[in-house]
């Protein structure tokens, strides 16, 4: 009996399948975090099994590392791997310049470190994540726990002078307690509505005492692979300006998704 996958799940898997075709034997890879990245890790493990690729992987979160290890991928630290050839990750929003909002999964700090330690970053996503102007998705900002309320007040004060629609910063919760990142920090989610100048906002946020990093990824992403529910994929490369289209065939969903 075949699993009944949602169109969004099929779109994510189609994008992931296309992205792992970019992987070559001997590469050092950054593995992203989130639901779309999880499809990528599974598709990557499938390629390793079928094609015998020798890869060294760096995970951007504990849960990605655990999944990759369980699927037989070699996972090391970034310090052990050194510079990476490619990072494949998801995004919560992206615009036409491939500026991203990331951090919905709570791993923005490690994701940004790994992405910027790579020759190339490719984002995999479904079409719903593309926007004309960033900001509908809350912008995550990672802060240290000490004095986090002061950091929140300073952040909200700063936002009043930025080109944004909203100024509310909410502490991310995990049930009844604050969400804690793998690095032991808290996350403030900024309800901005619209971000008129992402570069200016990113620079300003990182000047707030207690802020570790923010979820704006600027001039980091090189290409985006957009998946659709019917298996179609569109790959846009910002450097070359090229746009490629193809279709992924779902041959055996029982086999593909048996570990979910």
Tens digit of each residue's pLDDT (9 = 90 or more) over 37-59: 999 999 999 999 999 999 999 99
Tokens of 232: 């179609």
pTM: 0.94
Residue 164: C-alpha distances to residues 107, 149, 214 (Å): 24, 21, 15
175 annotated as a binding-site residue: no
Q: What is the DSSP string of 65-86?
A: HHHHHHTT--B--HHHH-SBSE
90 annotated as a binding-site residue: yes
- Is position 134 within any domain? no
* Count of structural domains within the chain: 2
Both 231 and 200 in one domain: the answer is no
103 annotated as a binding-site residue: yes
Asked whether the predicted pLDDT for residue 80 surpasses 50, the reply is: yes
For a pLDDT cut of 90, what percent of the chain falls above it?
Answer: 92
CA 78/CA 223 separation, integer angstroms: 22
User: pLDDT at position 256, please?
Assistant: 52
Both 89 and 148 in one domain: the answer is no
Asked whether the predicted pLDDT for residue 95 surpasses 70, the reply is: yes
- Is position 40 within any domain? yes
35 annotated as a binding-site residue: yes
- Is position 99 within any domain? yes
Strands ordered across the beta sheet of 100-101: 93-94, 100-101, 216-217
Both 207 and 119 in one domain: the answer is no
CA 62/CA 69 separation, integer angstroms: 10
Average confidence (pLDDT) over 16-39: 97
- Is position 2 within any domain? no
105 annotated as a binding-site residue: yes
Tens of pLDDT, residue by residue over 148-185, are 999 999 999 999 999 999 999 999 999 999 999 999 99
111 in active site: yes
User: pLDDT at position 250, please?
Assistant: 76
Both 25 and 151 in one domain: the answer is no
Split at pLDDT 50, 70, 90, the class of 5 is confident
Given 46, 93, 111, 246, which residue is catalytic?
111
Both 36 and 103 in one domain: the answer is yes
| β-strand partners of 205 | none
Both 158 and 118 in one domain: the answer is no
- Is position 1 within any domain? no
Both 250 and 208 in one domain: the answer is no
Both 231 and 110 in one domain: the answer is yes
Altogether, the residues listed in the chain come to a count of 260
Structural domain for 184, as ranges:
139-214
Both 143 and 196 in one domain: the answer is yes
CATH number of the structural domain spanning residue 12: 3.40.50.1360
- Is position 66 within any domain? yes
Both 46 and 154 in one domain: the answer is no
- Is position 28 within any domain? yes
Average confidence (pLDDT) over 8-28: 96
Q: Residue 123: CA atoms inside 13 Å, Cβ hemisphere, count?
A: 32
102 annotated as a binding-site residue: yes
Both 16 and 118 in one domain: the answer is yes
Tens of pLDDT, residue by residue over 210-228, are 999 999 999 999 999 999 9
């Amino acid at each position: 009996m075949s699993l009944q996958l949602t169109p969004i799940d099929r779109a994510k898997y189609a994008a992931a399948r296309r992205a792992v075709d970019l992987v070559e034997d001997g590469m050092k890879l950054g593995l992203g975090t989130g639901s779309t990245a999880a499809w990528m890790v599974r598709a990557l493990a499938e390629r390793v099994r079928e094609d015998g690729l020798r890869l060294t992987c760096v995970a951007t979160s504990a849960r990605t590392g655990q999944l990759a290890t369980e699927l037989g991928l070699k996972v090391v630290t970034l310090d052990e791997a050194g510079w990476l050839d490619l990072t494949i990750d998801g995004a919560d929003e992206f615009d036409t310049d491939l500026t991203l909002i990331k951090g919905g999964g709570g791993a923005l700090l490690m994701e940004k470190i790994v992405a910027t330690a790579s020759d190339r970053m490719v984002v995999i996503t479904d079409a719903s994540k593309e926007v004309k102007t960033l900001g509908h998705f809350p912008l995550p900002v990672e802060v240290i726990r000490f004095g986090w309320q002061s950091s929140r007040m300073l952040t909200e004060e700063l936002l009043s002078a930025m080109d944004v629609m909203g100024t509310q910063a909410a502490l991310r919760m995990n049930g009844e307690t604050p969400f804690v990142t793998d690095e032991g920090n808290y996350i403030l989610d900024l309800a901005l509505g619209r971000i008129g100048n992402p570069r200016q906002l990113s620079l300003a946020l990182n000047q707030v005492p207690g802020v570790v990093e923010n979820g704006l990824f600027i001039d980091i992403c090189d290409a985006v692979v957009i998946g659709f529910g019917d298996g179609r994929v569109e790959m846009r490369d910002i450097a070359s300006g090229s746009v490629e289209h193809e279709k992924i065939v779902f041959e055996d969903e029982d086999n593909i998704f048996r570990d979910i």
